Amino acid sequence: MSLRSPLATARGLGSAKSGTHHWWLQRVTAVALVPLTIWFVISLIVHSGASYEEVRAWIGSPVPAVLMICLIGGMFHHAQLGLQVVIEDYIHAETCKMAALIVVKGAAIFLGLLGIFSVLKIAFGG
Amino acid sequence: MASVERPLSPHLQVYRPQWTTVLSISHRATGIALSVGGIALVWWLAAAAGSPEYYESFAGIAGSIIGRLALFVWTFCLFYHLGNGIRHLMWDAGKWLELEQARKSGYHVVISAAVLTIVSWIAAYAAM
């Protein structure tokens, strides 16, 4: 006999109320990053040695700009999720752990926004 | 409760490092290194969004010996984390879980990461 309600089984969420959300998002971002990373590396090779103007012309054109924004968003989300697990595994002092988690999350959001804003600024000719 | 034999997670102090465990911890290490690399990526984009002088100073640092060395290490970390990440996704899908497959796919990941790193740098210098 199960002590769990039918609703709990249907939702598949345990006592943490988040189920496999974290694990799943890490995989989703990982899958997205596979083609984005390959595009990024090839693009960097093609544009190696490019001047300031050439780099801006490349990043500012529509498809590379959107791909770059996807890469930044996916990468910092994936990095934040990964670093969170590392911190939870190795830092056991509760205060330090909390502080580290908040710093990593804040840094990921700040850097992600800074990267996306920079791409948009180049694209819109600021 | 003491009679219940539960599997223990490998204790780093008493376990001899094995090929697969070294690759596993390397996935984390390269992930951390790439997170730091993300700062450099944003720095580059912010410099490109800024003035030509700002971009010049970034390009100067990135093009220095230490800058190039960091970029080279990050390139390897990227290819390793990419290849090993795909290996992890295969495990999540329930494939390649046999010991021999895990060892072999690990070799493939390391060798392909090394080859792709070198090929990328040769291609980048050739494209310059």
ipTM, two decimals, is: 0.89
Residue B64: DSSP 8-state: S
Distance CA A67, CA A47 (A): 16
Which residue in the block uniquely carries the two structure tokens 């080279």?
B72
The CATH number covering residue A97 comes to: 1.20.1300.10
Length of chain B: 128
Cα within 13 Å of Cα(A40), Cβ side: 21
On chain B, the residues whose CB falls within 8 A of the CB of A72 are: 41-42, 45
The verdict on A60 touching B (C-beta cutoff 8 Å) is: no
Q: CA torsion angle for A8, A12, A14, A19 (degrees, to 10)?
A: -150
- pLDDT for residue A117: 98
Domain ranges for chain B, please list them: 19-127
DSSP character string of B5-33: --PPPPPTTTSPP-HHHHHHHHHHHHHHH
- pLDDT for residue A15: 62
Instruction: List the single best residue of A44, A105, A119 to mutate versus B (max B Cβ within 10 A).
Output: A44
| Cα–Cα nearest to A83, from A41, A29, A20 | A29
- pLDDT for residue A5: 72
Q: How confident is the model at residue B3 (pLDDT cuts 50, 70, 90)?
A: low
Q: Let me know if residue A13 belongs to a domain.
A: no
User: What is the chain A residue with the closest CA to B85?
Assistant: A30
On chain B, the residues whose CB falls within 8 A of the CB of A90 are: none
Per the structure, the count of domains in chain A is 1
A27, A30, A46 ranked by CB distance to B127: nearest: A46
Amino acid letter at A41?
V
Say which residue, A43 or A49, is predicted with more confidence. Answer: A43
Helix-, strand-, coil-residue percentages of chain A, each rounded to 5: 80, 0, 20
Q: Let me know if residue A9 belongs to a domain.
A: no
Which three-class secondary structure state does DSSP give residue B62?
A: helix
Per-window interface: B 59-118 vs A, CB < 8 A? 59, 75, 78, 82, 85-86, 88-89, 92
Q: What pTM was estimated for this model as a whole?
A: 0.89
Q: Let me know if residue A14 belongs to a domain.
A: no
Q: Let me know if residue A73 belongs to a domain.
A: yes
Residue B35 distance to chain A (closest CA, Å): 6
Q: Let me know if residue A12 belongs to a domain.
A: no
CATH class of B19-127: mainly alpha
